[in-house]
Structure 1
Amino acid sequence: MTGHVIAVAKDSDHRFSKLLVPDITLVAGLGVEGDAHQGVMVKHRSRVTVDPTQPNLRQVHLIHSELFDEVATQGFRVGPADLGENITTKGIDLLGLPRGARLKVGEEVVLEVTGLRNPCAQIDSWQKGLLAAVLDRGPSGELIRKSGFMSVVLKGGRVRAGDCIAVEMPEPPFFRLERV
């Protein structure tokens, strides 16, 4: 499975949306250089409140641009960086990947998938009703979170729009993504 990066973003402050930039630098074990979520320990505000010593499994947030097309059919206008992702992708079924899958981005970067982003009520503050649009129910009634996944940086480097993404699956058994 291969795809590509269509946009990259970061923000040094904790805001809902991030700022589109020409490229981002990823640092192994830390995340996106200059981003509010960079660090070894968790940086997400709600998780810091619960336990600031948790490992940061949310170093890099990726969203598939196909989600933007899906929610557009429901009247929402969403583009790269609007939902706070660092890397916007095209051509990869991000939500179909198992925990531990690795993404080789561009020439150097290697990311490891840690789990799903758990969309929160802030999404509705940005566009009313969007939270329901990025959630779904599976055949058994299980909640499906469609707002991308989180990863950690195994090997750092620069990422920019146009970079190729190649997926390396982990050894079986595969573990489905849970929220992190």
Structure 2
Amino acid sequence: MTEVVAVARDAAHRFSKQLCPGIVLIAGQGVEGDAHRGVTVQHRSRVAQDPTQPNLRQVHLLAAELLDELNAKGYDVGPGEMGENVTTRGIDLLALPRGTRLALGEAEVEVTGLRNPCAQISGFRSGLLSEVLMRTPEGGLVRRAGIMAVVTRGGAVTPGDAIAVKLPAAPHLPLERV
């Protein structure tokens, strides 16, 4: 079953987000009450580069399967602790093409790209960065820290909500760092 496992938000710019019984997504802005909500970029590193950039990182989604894998390797990581707003199960988020729409509860988001894991992850759990940012044998980067999306339809999202996937028209474009 493809579903929402947990939802989280945080009004401050901290690495981890606080789990809550439900979140409200606001079209074109992000998660109500979250520090990353806004039409323009809210991530501090992006604001420093150009505060007028559109916010393509309104909602962060992460697969519970990644958390399962990390916990099996000895990391103690729960939903929301890697900064995601929505923890999912039953969907390969990293394999989705850019522009995929995900219906989550009453809301809908459009996938914009991959989360770029940063050094803060190692501050959270030593060694964790090497688990979510890897290299292929050819030297290419593999980012596994979830995906980012923008809100196309606002509404409530709660744990247990089903996730419906609507792929964009072909050709499908692979996810890149946003």
Shorter-chain TM-score: what band? over 0.9
Deviations 1:32-84 (A, max 9, x none): 00100000000000000000000000000000000011112321111100000
Name the structure 2 match of 1:159: 157
Could you state the TM-score of these two structures normalised by the residue count of structure 2?
0.97
Provide closer, same or farther for how the CA distance between residues 177 and 35 of structure 1 changes in structure 2, counting only shifts above 3 A.
same
Does the Cα contact within 8 Å between 1:71 and 1:134 map onto a contact in 2?
Answer: no
Deviations 1:70-108 (A, max 9, x none): 1123211111000000000000000000100000112x2
Q: Which amino acid in structure 2 is aligned with residue 99 of structure 1? A: R
Q: Hey, what's the Cα distance between the residues in 2 that align with 1:140 and 1:100?
A: 27
1:139 CA drift (Å): 5.5
For the residues of structure 2 that align with 1:61 and 1:86, how far apart are their CA atoms? Answer: 5
Gaps of 5+ in 1: none
Alignment-mate amino acid for residue 104 of structure 1 = A
Aligned-partner residue type, residue 14 of structure 2: R
User: Which sits farther off after the overlay, 74-83 or 130-139?
Assistant: 130-139
The answer for the alignment partner of 1:71 in structure 2 is 70
Secondary structure, aligned partner of 1:103: strand
Equivalences, count: 178
Counterpart code for 1:89: T
- The aligned amino acid for 2:2 is G
Report the alpha carbon displacement of residue 135 of structure 1 after superposing the two structures with TM: 1.8
Residues 1:31 and 2:30 aligned together = yes
**C-alpha offsets along residues 98-141 of structure 1, whole Å, 9 cap, x if unaligned?**
100000112x2110000000000000011100000112233643
Match of 1:95 in 2: 94
TM-score between both structures, scaled by the size of structure 1: 0.96
**Does structure 1 residue 86 correspond to structure 2 residue 85?**
yes
Alpha-carbon shift at residue 5 of structure 1 (Å): 0.3
Partner of 2:141: 143
Aligned counterparts of 2:147 and 2:116: Cα–Cα separation in 1? 9
- 8 Å CA contact 1:135–1:145 kept in 2: the answer is yes
In structure 2, the gaps of 5 or more residues are none
For residues 74 and 104 of structure 2, the distance between their equivalents in structure 1, rounded to whole angstroms, comes to: 32
The aligned amino acid for 1:13 is A
CA RMSD of the aligned region, Å? 1.0
Partner amino acid, structure 2, of 1:144: V
Percent of counterpart pairs with the same letter?
61
**Secondary structure class of the residue paired with 2:129:** helix
Paired with 2:95 and 2:162, the residues of 1 have a C-alpha distance of: 18
* Code of the aligned partner of 2:158: R
- Tell me the SS of whatever aligns to 2:150: strand
